[in-house]
Amino acid sequence: MGERGLVRFRKMAQDAARAYWRFTILWLIIGAVLGILASLSLLVPGFHTSHPLPGYGRLVSAHRACMIHGVLMTAVMAQAYTLLPRLTKSRVKSVRFSLIAAWIGFAIVAVGIIQIIAGMGSGREYSDLPTGFAILFWFYLIAVAIDLSLLLAGSNVMASNPSSLNRNSRQANSLSESR
């Protein structure tokens, strides 16, 4: 791969992490708006009669799902795609898959939150996504975990020689004992 191709590849790898960071910020804004709307329905009497919004329970469920599945999970993925390539000094194996996975995760959570607001949520607290979308979300997490494990498998961290680690730890122990 030429230098131009390497620069393009690095830019695409950064785009995967940036996509997750952008989705994290977007979900944080959407979650904040849903939380404000839910709190307004408690603070302002007659707020729902003057505005065509779903009830307090649906807004709180949508807010909770947005914060857990949207903000928290995408922030963890963004952190992983940002730090793991830097710490392991390796490349993301499938950058296109990482970008596609970011969009698929966004779509799963978005449609799930729309269904919660429409009244088709599961009704389970902290697991408010409809059951079909919750299963899709778990498959999405497994696919991203496999992608990240491929990143770790190609790194020098996993391929290091255990005998050299033992030798280095013995040298460190002998230095600490001599002091």
| pLDDT for position 163 | 52
* pLDDT mean over 158-177: 52
- The structural domains of the chain, ordered by start, are 3-178 (1.20.210.10)
| pLDDT for position 35 | 93
Report the candidate in 104, 122, 117 with the shortest Cα–Cα distance to residue 66.
Answer: 117
* pLDDT mean over 19-48: 89
| pLDDT for position 10 | 60
Could you report the per-residue pLDDT of 107-161, keeping only the tens digit for each?
Answer: 999 999 999 888 887 777 767 788 888 889 889 989 988 888 888 887 665 555 5
pLDDT of residue 168 exceeding 60: no
* pLDDT mean over 53-79: 89
Of all residues in the chain, what percent carry a pLDDT higher than 90?
25
If one compares 44 and 1, the residue with the highest pLDDT of the two is: 44
Per-residue tokens: 57: 């329970």
Could you report the per-residue pLDDT of 146-163, keeping only the tens digit for each?
Answer: 888 888 887 665 555 555
Using alpha carbons only, how large is the chain's radius of gyration in Å? 22
- As a whole number of angstroms, the distance between CA 96 and CA 115 comes to 29
Stated pTM of the model: 0.74
| pLDDT for position 5 | 55
- As a whole number of angstroms, the distance between CA 142 and CA 105 comes to 12
* pLDDT mean over 100-112: 91
| pLDDT for position 22 | 93
